[in-house]
Amino acid sequence: MDSIAGCLLKGALAGAVGVWLMDRFTWYWYSHASTATLVQERTAQKGGRYAPNAAGKHLTDAMQINLTQKQQYKVGRSIHYLMGVAPGALYALGRHRLERFGFWRGPLYGIGLFIVFDEVVVPGLGYASGPFAYPWQAHARGFFAHLILGTTTDKVIDLLDEIGSAKQV
């Protein structure tokens, strides 16, 4: 059995890999979206910013830190990754309790993140408009992106567990 720190580390790493893969999917979807959909989504965004960038701007403004646009983008990207790494670490601690879901454990984790964060918490904090302001394509993209995030996070933890088990033999 892993130590708590080891489990958290595996989950954090798996969450980072999940976010990276989720971003590849998201950017592909964006590159194939219609101009009208992109305009509607951009209009719905708070301050014309993607939610993690809006959170980053709020954070740096509250701390009275003036950043260049490039630096501000990096803060937003860091927040985006943190939102995959932190839940991934916590997921790794409790995923054994979800064994009964088998393969669906990871996808259900991803769907849960989508519903809780994208549809409730982020708009509730004011970093995104309410769900009805966005086109259906934005919700579909977020749903499938989080399926990828959840599945990847779960499978990377499985892989890291297998590597750990092989080392012990």
Q: Sketch the domain layout of the chain as residue ranges.
A: 4-163
Q: Is the pTM of this model over 0.95?
A: no
Residue 152, Cβ density class (10 Å: 0-12 exposed, 13-18 middle, ≥19 buried) = buried
- Region 133-138: mean pLDDT is 95
For 103-112, 146-155, 158-167, which range has the lowest pLDDT when averaged over its residues? 158-167
pLDDT tens-digit series, residues 75-85:
999 999 999 99
Q: How far apart are CA 93 and CA 138, in angstroms?
A: 31
Alpha-carbon distance of 143 to 15, in angstroms, equals: 16
